[in-house]
Structure 1
Amino acid sequence: MGRLTQRRRITRIRRTEEGITSATRPDALAAEEPLELRIGGESFTVTMRTPGHDFELAAGFCVAEGLLRSTDDLAGADQLRSMRYCAGTDDQGNQTYNVIDLELADPAAMATAVSQQRNVLTSSACGICGTTSIDAVEKSLPHAEATQELSISAETLLDLPGALREAQEIFAKTGGVHAAGLFDGEGKLLILREDVGRHNAVDKVIGRAFLDDQLPLSGTALQVSGRASFELVQKAALAGVEMLTAVGAPSSLAADLADRAGITLAGFSRGRTINLYTHPERVRF
């Protein structure tokens, strides 16, 4: 398995009262490697990610693509017939664990996967690269009637960014990864994942919940370390999350989708202030 961090010697420059100084020292960088996802042996997409929790990433990505979802007759992980690493080696012949092949139990989902095959690399900055139209991006939402199980106090909501930051072990070492944390209405951290790609961190959280048969994630809030984009709102909606709150700003398209999907969207969550853009009724003042 690839390492979460990699060591590199750096030259650090510092301005002091005596002038400019420099020193060589070791530093930790967040690892970034490609992961190819295959479905039924056919390449589906390649995404750049931080190695670790790869099966969760694969499952969460398929939830976001509408290929996996909770149903009464075939819930959760039963929709995955198999998920395995394929042979892949580096220049020294070592297994890279950078290729995963999934076999979906539903033949219709397998056929959909073939029709939705991505044609370009999905970077760690973009979760929807390679889709051909906005219609393909905005998947039909399975949870059309938004649930109202989540009730969270404003005080607890304001505490979520700090709770997320305190739990970020890779960020503490590198300062170079995003995080997504799933919280309940009392502010208890349920799942935390980190990755160089903010959409990957969200996919890993949703993938973990999917594999544990916990979808839909009603009664939960998803706190993310970056901005709130359309793609993150879409992922949250497909997983049944009731609130998406971000340290950064939301986009207009994200707010539009959150409004339609019944999601409470919050942005600029900085510990002391927060903006609520849609469905503020879930927050107690």
Structure 2
Amino acid sequence: MNKVGKAEILKIGKGAPVFRPDLIAVEEPLEIRIGFGKEGKREQRSISVTMRTPGHDFELALGFLFTENIISAYDEVVSIRYCQDAGRQEERENVVRVELSPEVQIDFKKIERHFYTSSSCGVCSKTSIDAVKTGCPVLHSSLKVDESIIHQAPAILRREQQVFEYTGGLHAAGLFSQQGELIIMREDVGRHNALDKLVGAALVKQMIPLADYFVLVSGRASFELVQKSLMAGIPLMAAVGAPSSLAVALATDFNMTLLGFVRNLSFNVYCGRERLIYENKN
């Protein structure tokens, strides 16, 4: 499936208006279904529909299941595939079915809020927030990152954003080593989808918990992104944009380092400054 689409636009600027072709980021729904239950009593249920950019769909499904505390390890997954009974071919490519081990126990009341997720949505209501906090680990990572590494990360991430270069319409999440090496990068029209894809890739590689890495997201730092990073054991989140008040509160509660406005050789530290190595210029 294509990540980039085409559109005919009217360009209005300093000169005369002109019609021209343009490239746009593709956004399509992905339904995530799970198969669960004991042998001989298997059931299937749809648990989420998210608006996403096609690509790395299996990683997105795995990352979603892990960060929402539905699975705790990759070995709880028996198989993952596109649904063959979902109608036309284009519809099948928008439905992923994850078969879970018979031993996996699911409390569906805890995941009711996930039945529909837009590409830009966050968590809503106090009940949802309390449910999200359940299962988040308090981080005890000894990671320390030099400020120069943080300053370099946005440029490194941007260089790897291939689809963004064509469309300007995608978010990115990058996993970096303590030395500033970009380990995994994923793009998506939804910022939380990009992070779920990254976590899903790390889950398949048996890298979780990601206690020795930090993550950089291309937009703002929302409560949901902090929660997903906590579930993956990421001790430091840096964002090109601003964090929300709930994001700061959650990061503080669970001992995560949270940085915002990481750009132009500057950034704000909202909590967890002990994980940074920086020069005191006073």
Report the counterpart of residue 72 of structure 1 in structure 2: none
Residue 148 of structure 2 corresponds to residue 152 of structure 1: no
1:158-202: CA deviations, max 9, x gaps? Answer: 111111111100100000000000001111000000000000000
Q: In structure 2, how many angstroms separate the alpha carbons of the residues matched to 1:108 and 1:95?
A: 28
Aligned Cα root-mean-square deviation (Å)? 1.9
Matched positions, count: 269
Candidates 45, 48, 66, aligned match of 2:48? 45
Q: Is the 8 A contact 1:120 1:130 kept in 2?
A: no
TM-score, normalised via structure 1 length: 0.89
Q: In structure 1, how many angstroms separate the alpha carbons of the residues matched to 2:219 and 2:132?
A: 20
Q: In structure 2, how many angstroms separate the alpha carbons of the residues matched to 1:167 and 1:133?
A: 34
Q: In structure 1, how many angstroms separate the alpha carbons of the residues matched to 2:58 and 2:168?
A: 24
Deviation of 1:77 (Å): 2.1
1:84-111: CA deviations, max 9, x gaps? Answer: 1113345xx64540001112215343x2
Q: Is the 8 A contact 1:37 1:46 kept in 2?
A: yes
Seen in structure 2, the aligned counterparts of structure 1 residues 97 and 185 have a Cα distance that, compared at 3 Å, is same
Aligned amino acid, residue 99 of structure 1: V
- After TM superposition, list the pairs within 5 Å mapping 1:46-195 onto structure 2: 46-69=49-72, 76-87=73-84, 88-89=86-87, 94=90, 96-105=92-101, 107-109=103-105, 111-113=106-108, 116-118=111-113, 120-128=115-123, 133-141=128-136, 143-148=137-142, 150-195=143-188
Report the counterpart of residue 226 of structure 1 in structure 2: 219
Q: In structure 2, how many angstroms separate the alpha carbons of the residues matched to 1:112 and 1:264?
A: 31
Q: In structure 1, how many angstroms separate the alpha carbons of the residues matched to 2:183 and 2:168?
A: 23
Q: In structure 1, how many angstroms separate the alpha carbons of the residues matched to 2:223 and 2:178?
A: 24
Q: Is the 8 A contact 1:67 1:113 kept in 2?
A: no
Report the counterpart of residue 40 of structure 2 in structure 1: none
1:101-141: CA deviations, max 9, x gaps? Answer: 112215343x2247524465210001446995322232322
Q: In structure 2, how many angstroms separate the alpha carbons of the residues matched to 1:137 and 1:250?
A: 18
Name stretches of at least 5 consecutive residues in structure 1 with no aligned partner.
Answer: 70-75
Q: Is the 8 A contact 1:35 1:48 kept in 2?
A: yes
Candidates 248, 253, 256, aligned match of 1:260? 253
Report the counterpart of residue 29 of structure 1 in structure 2: 24
SS of residue matched to 2:121: coil
- Identity of matched residues, %: 45
1:202-253: CA deviations, max 9, x gaps? Answer: 0000000001111000111100001011101100000000100001111111
Q: Is the 8 A contact 1:45 1:117 kept in 2?
A: no
Q: Is the 8 A contact 1:30 1:176 kept in 2?
A: yes
Q: In structure 2, how many angstroms separate the alpha carbons of the residues matched to 1:215 and 1:35?
A: 24
TM-score, normalised via structure 2 length: 0.90
